[in-house]
Amino acid sequence: MSDEKKTVQQDDVVSIDYTLTDSQGNVIDSSEGAEPLEYLHGHNNLIPGLESELTGMSVGDEKQVTVAPEDAYGPRQEDATQIIPTDAFPPDMQVEPGMALEMRDTTTGQVFEVYVTEIRPEGVVVDFNHPLAGVTLNFDVKVVGIRPATPDEIAHGHVHSAGHHHH
């Protein structure tokens, strides 16, 4: 073993503890009380503004990172809402405000996520903005683990952790 501390580099699988707050100090998301977030570094699995700041950190390092909307979920588009008629949804589907729906663009075939903002009698109001679009994000992060990714993980561009998939 060399004395050099392992630092976060391209194609490392990194585990971080983090707390995410908005500019008012409200906690938006946190790994506290749960497993650390494990991600494959250098493959756009995190928002760019956070990932770039983690490069070069070692296990045990802590950092506060402020990420502008442009480096996170983008600025808000003001008129990016649409009403989807209720009968466009399967009858057994529970649609609730805050949930993400996958929609397919009929012309391009591209699949994108929209976010339900309210349920009205005539239909469901969806917003094309990510809920955190336009929000400056403050991360308190601590690196708790670094390991080289397996060739399989690098090929797929994300971590193969037992259990859950984020897609």
Give the Cα-Cα-Cα angle 89, 91, 93 (nearest 5 degrees).
70
**pLDDT tens profile 9-56:** 999 999 999 999 999 999 999 999 999 999 999 999 999 999 999 999
- What are the CA-CA distances from residue 97 to residues 21, 26, 108, 121, 148 (Å)? 21, 20, 27, 14, 39
User: Which structural domains are found in the chain, ordered by start?
Assistant: 12-73+133-156 (3.10.50.40), 81-127 (2.40.10)
Instruction: Read off φ and ψ for residue 2, nearest 5 degrees.
Output: -85, 165
Using DSSP's 3-state secondary structure scheme, residue 115 falls into strand
Q: How does pLDDT run across 98-119, given as a tens digit for each residue? A: 899 988 888 888 888 899 999 9
Look at the pTM and tell me if it is higher than 0.85.
Answer: no
